[in-house]
Amino acid sequence: MKEKIYSVLVEEVGEFKAKAILRGAYHYFGIEKDKEAEDLLLPILERVRLSLNGENLKSSKVDGVMRRLQSMFPEVKRVQTEEEHIAIESEEDIRMAQMRAKIKAQALGFNGLDQTKIATTVAELTRNIIKYAGKGTVTLIPLLTDERALKIVAEDNGPGITNLSDVLSGTYDSKQGLGMGLLAIKRLMDSFEVETNSGVGTRIVVIKYIK
Amino acid sequence: MKVPLIKIGDKLLVSIQTTIIDSVVASLREDITNEISTSGVKGLIIDLSGIDIIDSFFCRMINDIGHDARILGAKTVVVGIKPELAITLVQMGMEMRGVMTSLNLNKALEILK
């Protein structure tokens, strides 16, 4: 995988930049030198895209390089249609989840602003999981009906939210900021539902439509 | 992973390049307050140009750092927030209280003159 990406980058931006960009992308995810990371293909490609943007290339050039890279990996196509299940167990997973959400949103055709809103929502959801439940899961579900959309489900078996109505009406001001986070999610998404049971857990389902 | 602090004259520049985790936040606040109190800088510039996502946690951290700095006698200017992040923050109902903001480093230096 590394070799394939490298060979395209060398042709497009030259050996020197190709090496720096690829090394940067692998390093970002803490992948050791000479190791492969097939399951991180999409996050790695996203880092490559950010680095290419950082090189002040024309956006058409960046798009072209990315199309070449994506066409080499058929699994990229699957991102548009398949559900993605992400285990949230440590703070590192927050960054990973928000990046995967951004990539999925991009693949589905959301504009840059909505990609940011989706990634921010996932950041809030996953941070709440880590903070209050310790661990949980986030599932990204593409909805490919007439109205294309991304559905995000966050689940945990934590203590639950006991004062949900206060939190959502904005009258409850949490020191740790749960209130702010949930309200923010509600404002950023088109649909927002919470199921929570004290001592059993919390399930939050949000949907964002492509406009 | 440590966030570097760079001193420019009587100002302190903190460039946060990637989303940071709780434990790093705690040490970053400590490093910044230590630096302000020992070197007596009058201005703190926080560069967020490398940041792609600002969630409520991150926003609160920036507010807290601005608050720390003010109590220690330094003004804080946040620079380099991307347009889509600004729109997202407003929609979320988040505010950057206690810190000034500016488009880029040059303008921040002017504000702190």
DSSP designation for A34:
T
What are the chain A neighbours of B23 within 8 Å (beta carbons)?
A: 91
DSSP string, A190-209: SEEEEEEETTTEEEEEEEEE
Quick check: is B32 in a domain? yes
Domain, as residue range, for B41: 5-104
Which pair of tokens denotes residue B45?
Answer: 């510039």
Residue partners of A119: CB distance under 8 A and separation at least 6: A98, A99, A101, A102, A105, B52, B53
Q: What is the pLDDT of residues B74-99, one digit of tens each?
A: 999 999 999 999 999 999 988 888 89
Q: Is residue B109 part of a domain?
A: no
Q: A94 vs B56: CB contact, 8 Å cut-off?
A: no
Is the sign of the CA dihedral A157, A171, B86, B72 positive or negative?
A: negative
Does residue B90 fall inside a structural domain? yes
The DSSP bridge pattern shows strands B11-15 and B43-47 to be parallel
Three-state secondary structure of A154-178: EEECCCCCCCHHHHHHCCCCCCCCH
SS3 state at A85: strand
Is residue B112 included in any domain, yes or no?
A: no
> Which pLDDT score is estimated for A171?
66
Interface test with A, best of B88, B90, B94, B97 (most A CBs within 10 A): B88
B95 in any annotated domain: yes
* Residue-wise pLDDT tens digits, A86-139: 999 998 899 889 989 998 998 887 888 999 999 999 999 999 999 889 999 999
The stretches in chain B having pLDDT less than 70 are: 1, 19
Tell which of A88, A90, A120 to mutate to test the B interface (max B CBs under 10 Å): A120
- Whether residues A119 and B22 touch (CB distance < 8 A) is answered with no
Residue B52 lies in a domain: yes
Number of domains chain B is built from: 1
- The enclosing domain of B62 has a CATH number of 3.30.750.24
Beta carbons of B53 and A188 less than 8 Å apart: no
- Provide the β-strand partners of residue A203: A155, A195
The more confidently predicted of residues A154 and A26 is A154
Tell me if B74 is assigned to some domain.
yes
Contact status of B91 with chain A (Cβ, < 8 Å): yes
Contact map slice: B 53-72 vs A, CB within 8 A? 53-57, 60
Question: Mean per-residue pLDDT for A60-83?
Answer: 82
Distances (CA, A) of B40 to A161, A183, B33, B108: 44, 39, 10, 18
pLDDT band at A145 (very low <50, low <70, confident <90, very high): confident
Across the interface, which of B19, B23, B54 has its CB nearest the CB of A95? B19
- Put simply, the answer to whether B56 touches A184 (Cβ < 8 Å) is yes
Query: Which pLDDT value is given to residue A54?
Result: 81
**pLDDT the model gives residue A179:** 65
Question: Which residues on adjacent β-strands are paired with residue A149?
Answer: A143, A209
Instruction: For residue B93, list chain A residues with Cβ-Cβ distance below 8 A.
Output: 180, 183-184, 187
CB contact under 8 Å between B19 and A91, yes or no, is no
Left, alpha or beta for B102 (phi > 0: left; psi -120 to 50: alpha)? beta
A contact test, residue of B56, B59, B61 with most A CBs within 10 A: B56
| The predicted structure's pLDDT at residue A116 | 94
CA atoms within 13 A on the CB side of B83: 2
Q: What is the mean pLDDT of chain A?
A: 87
Contact residues for A50 (Cβ-Cβ < 8 A; gap 6+): B52
| Cα nearest neighbour of A186 on chain B | B92
ipTM of the complex: 0.89
Note whether residue B84 is domain-resident: yes
Q: How many CB pairs under 8 A join A and B?
A: 64
Element (H, E) at A14: none
Cα–Cα distance measured from residue A93 to residue A189, given in angstroms and rounded to the nearest whole number: 22
For residue A131, give the chain B residue with the closest CA: B22
